[in-house]
Structure 1
Amino acid sequence: MTPRIIELCKDLFKKWAKLDNSNFSAETISGGITNLLLKVSVKEENGNIVNMTVRLYGPNTEYVINRSRELQAIGCLSAEGFGAKLLGVFGNGMVQSFINARTLNPSDMRKPKLAAEIAKQLRKFHQVEVPGSKEPQLWNDIFKFFHKASTLEFDDSEKQRKYETISFKKVHTEVIELKELTGLLSAPVVFAHNDLLSGNLMLNDDEEKLYFIDFEYGSYNYRGFDIGNHFNEYAGYDCDYSLYPNKDEQYHFYRHYLEPEKPHEVSDKDLEALYMETNTYMLASHLYWALWALIQAKMSPIDFDYLGYFFLRYNEYKRQKEKCFSLAQSYLSGSGTR
């Protein structure tokens, strides 16, 4: 792939067009389950070394990602200090400035000091204004995913057999029920990251500086969805949901999210409300990524068991549903619909 990356860099950045190919090097940073990230280093004529990140989109990701929305958001978020600077765009990817930091592991996210910092940064992130429609995209995206996911056919007979065990009528009923319940919550709408997993959080340990990266799923959305989705990611790709944060860990996060400067002044009432909001929208996160995984199972060439991932997420949704519905219903009945 390196010769093509060199050609791309020379094409995008004319100042390097005449450099010898030996002045360029490329290495894989990480292979997520949507994109491939490469670190590209360029030795300029004056001996200066420039490092960049080249992100190559996975094939067919336009089915699940709105690229024009992403590019618009990157400009606004970058201006507010989030993520890497956008240096160039090409047909199936983008070039960004290189962030000198390590990617977090799922276990890092639950460390109290880091959890507090993530919460503070997320509050700031949610305050960024991005041009365009402020309509929350959660249910638009879920119904779009559902329509695509429920009409697939697999060439692999074993995949097709597993796929046919899914009752899409039941999945649709679950989506409708949850949409109706969340509609009663009046959750604030913010510009949300929507994919705040450990791989999209980076930390420079020396400077103790935290970075949010990768805004391709970003959109206006419900605050509780963004936080609940983040908590689900404590489980990692292995989906070990025993790692989902307990109530004390969640309250620690909420305090630093709601009042970054005075976390211990947050009222019990506000903690209780955000706990209920987050743990209801957490269910929507499972449905979102479960349906996303079915589309990826058909479209993506990345070696990942997307079909298995659907069942891990959907089964966890079913396991948590009764408890979370009861929490929301009891809160709503006890407080009117405050």
Structure 2
Amino acid sequence: MELQTASIDADLDALLDSIPCTSRQPRTVEELPGGLTNRNLKVTNADGCCVVRIPAEGPGMLGIDRDQEYANSVAAAEAGVGAPVLHYRPASGLTVEFLPGTALTDADLHDPAVLGRVAAACRQLHAGPRFVNDFDMFAVQARYRAIVAEHGFRLPPRYDEFAPLVARIAEALGPRVTVPCNNDLLAANMLDDGERVRIIDYEYSGNNDPCFELGNIWSEATLPAPLLDVLITAYYGRPRPEQVARARLFGLMSKYGWTLWAAIQQATSPLDFDFWSWGMEKYDRAVAEFDGPDLEPLLAAARTGG
């Protein structure tokens, strides 16, 4: 998708004038595609390039804590895998960052060489400074479900039918050792310069099981099962079938949980985007896994890899 020149109204122009690294004129401003909770603007002037991330307005039901996001973004930059934070405004959550590189696509992640660079970036992030908060998809999913119930938001058919299986998945995954994780590694949140991958956007970041990170990457890109083996092997340095099982279960939980994220967004977001269809694509894949023949073997295998 080509970048589009952003429409500059007086308020946006004044905002850019007030930020040290974007104030210098002349400047060009381009709208970056893909943001579902932010407006992202690439600003270029004589001082260089940066990306201004402006949080979308809304009731804030998703639980994004912008101060936590900022602190974790700084920690990721210290780890050498995240973008330096050039400017931050606590009241609005606005951040200014920049890293060179090309955003990956789902198609890129079918290349084992790219997956190797992704695994290296994850290892670097996971070995870095602890984040200021924790992230547990089981807790997030339960909180989202309570919000959907409280407000009467639309719920996919059979959704609650799978609650007993979710409890079994949580039990099989057992006590978890956590590391700093991004937790939202869509392909577009990874920048590749051909030699290394770096990771951006820490809205849902927090200390978590590394297999959630890996399973979420696999799930978000809708990769075939053998490529999860490639990703796990690259991350651990050798085949780890028990960790593949754990990552697949976490990938299932990510689809199940993010489905409710989409339901909340569909009901509350001011953005012109079909969140429901986006979420149902994930949910349909989750249902196929809940109903499929692989779940019981995965539960058994995961219990050996905690």
* TM-score when normalising by structure 1: 0.78
SS in structure 1 of the partner of residue 251 of structure 2: helix
Counterpart of 1:204 in structure 2: which amino acid? D
SS in structure 2 of the partner of residue 28 of structure 1: strand
Query: Does the CA contact (< 8 Å) of 1:187 and 1:224 recur in 2?
Result: no
Name the CA distance, whole Å, in 1 between partners of 2:297 and 2:43: 49
- 1:151 aligned residue: 150
From the superposition, tell whether residues 165 and 53 of structure 1 become closer, same or farther in structure 2 (CA, over 3 Å).
closer
SS in structure 1 of the partner of residue 33 of structure 2: strand
- 1:201 aligned residue: 190
SS in structure 2 of the partner of residue 106 of structure 1: coil
Q: CA deviation at 1:327?
A: 1.9
Q: CA deviation at 1:147?
A: 0.8
- 1:38 aligned residue: 41
Name whichever structure is richer in helix by fraction: 1
Alignment pair present for 1:23 and 2:18? no
- 1:4 aligned residue: 11
- 1:84 aligned residue: 83
Question: Taking every aligned residue pair, what percent have the same amino acid on both sides?
Answer: 21
Mapping 1:47-66, distance limit 5 Å: 48-60=46-58, 62-64=60-62, 65-66=64-65
Q: CA deviation at 1:329?
A: 3.4
Name the CA distance, whole Å, in 2 between partners of 1:304 and 1:25: 26
* Structure number with larger C-alpha Rg: 1
* TM-score when normalising by structure 2: 0.86
Mark the runs of 5 or more structure 2 residues left unpaired by the alignment. Answer: 1-6
Q: CA deviation at 1:106?
A: 0.6
From the superposition, tell whether residues 165 and 143 of structure 1 become closer, same or farther in structure 2 (CA, over 3 Å).
closer
Query: Does the CA contact (< 8 Å) of 2:119 and 2:235 recur in 1?
Result: yes
Mapping 1:1-338, distance limit 5 Å: 1-2=7-8, 3-13=10-20, 16=23, 23-42=26-45, 48-60=46-58, 62-64=60-62, 65-90=64-89, 91-133=91-133, 135-153=134-152, 163=154, 166-167=157-158, 169-170=160-161, 172-183=163-174, 186-205=175-194, 208-235=195-222, 244-247=223-226, 249-259=227-237, 266=238, 268=239, 271-321=240-290, 322-331=292-301
Query: Does the CA contact (< 8 Å) of 1:138 and 1:222 recur in 2?
Result: no
SS in structure 2 of the partner of residue 82 of structure 1: coil
Query: Does the CA contact (< 8 Å) of 2:219 and 2:252 recur in 1?
Result: no
Q: CA deviation at 1:220?
A: 1.2
After superposition, the C-alpha distances for 1:231-276 in whole angstroms (9 at most, x for unaligned) are 01223xxxxxxxx2223x22222222112xxxxxx2x5xx111111
- 2:4 aligned residue: none
Query: Does the CA contact (< 8 Å) of 2:189 and 2:199 recur in 1?
Result: yes
Query: Does the CA contact (< 8 Å) of 1:59 and 1:299 recur in 2?
Result: no
Name the CA distance, whole Å, in 2 between partners of 1:88 and 1:29: 18
From the superposition, tell whether residues 171 and 35 of structure 1 become closer, same or farther in structure 2 (CA, over 3 Å).
farther
Mark the runs of 5 or more structure 1 residues left unpaired by the alignment. Answer: 43-47, 155-162, 236-243, 260-265
From the superposition, tell whether residues 8 and 277 of structure 1 become closer, same or farther in structure 2 (CA, over 3 Å).
same
After superposition, the C-alpha distances for 1:96-132 in whole angstroms (9 at most, x for unaligned) are 2332322111100121111111011111111122254
